[in-house]
Structure 1
């Protein structure tokens, strides 16, 4: 019985330490991690859809790159969030789900055009703005380093998406 109480107390202490650690991270930094996770989750989901639905080589190559690099981005975000005790979402947010539902109904050239315009340009524009802002506003060194690591990757995705999108008009 005494050993069970000790183990329970130790578990509670570890849990409390994790909560204190999460609380020491500013609300703004916690939101940065959540936003980055949501963006990566959405990109992986739409890229996977594009790999199934696109019949264009350029879009398929772009989608494969998006799936691989945003999977890595999500792993990087998850690593920092776990270390900081921040709970991340596990699925796309409502806006991204709605956009994915719209994409799911399309096929052929209409799908490719919508995928590039929305998941490619629009979403990467938003993600780039958020990660650029995060580089400037993050208070935690690890969150700031993560934003600095992801920013050039997202900038390159945006550039490629714009180029592909303009060629599909």
Structure 2
């Protein structure tokens, strides 16, 4: 009787797993805040940027979900309490106040994301997670550039 070979998942380094969880949390937040921007923004460019966040980050979230599953990493399914505070704060604003707060948050958030992903491209041990970081980094930089341009046109 032949026995099928067992496949064992190699344990992922805890820092690599931490990156995956943080990336997933940030991605979920980008989608939720982008949806909020599509609903609440008065500036069409801010609405459009929100749409790009929903589209791009939903795609990245799906990739990360599949990757994490293959590595045995459990990802969050909803935003953490810090991101929830940001969402609640933005939800309480309207009009130009919302637009300004959302744009400022996106600039700050993408600067932080870029730093995290740049660190990940250098420090992650898992080749698949590292490849995800390398692949996603240019999109994050493009997002920062886009939101910076919108910020610069707002008065």
- Residues 6-37 of structure 1: CA deviation (Å, up to 9, x unaligned): xxxxxxxx8xx6xx626x11001101111110
Q: Where does residue 21 of structure 1 map in the other structure? A: 9
1:99-110 aligned at under 5 Å gives the runs: 99-110=86-97
- Superposed structure 1 runs of 4+ greater than 2 Å apart: none
1:76-115 Cα distance to aligned partner (Å, 9 max, x none): 1111101101000011111111011100000000000100
Q: Match of 1:145?
A: 131
Q: Secondary structure at the match of 2:9?
A: helix
- The structure with the largest alpha-carbon Rg is 1
Structure 1 Cα separation of the partners of residues 147 and 79 of structure 2: 20
> Equivalent residue for 1:10?
none
Please name the residue that 1:72 is paired with.
59
TM-score (structure 1 length as normaliser): 0.85
Q: 2:120 aligns with which of 134, 150, 162?
A: 134
> Given the alignment of the two structures, is residue 98 of structure 1 paired with residue 85 of structure 2, yes or no?
yes
1:3 aligned residue: none
Match of 2:110 in 1: 124
Counterpart in 2 of 1:82? Answer: 69
Which structure 1 segments of 5+ residues have no match?
1-13
Gaps of 5+ in 2: 1-5
Higher helix share: 1
* Equivalent position of 1:9 in the other structure: none
- TM-score under structure 2 length normalisation: 0.92
CA distance in 1, matches of 2:109, 2:79: 12
Q: d(CA) in 1 for partners of 2:63 and 2:108?
A: 23
Aligned to 2:3: none
Give the aligned partner of residue 8 of structure 1.
Answer: none
2:23 corresponds in structure 1 to: 36
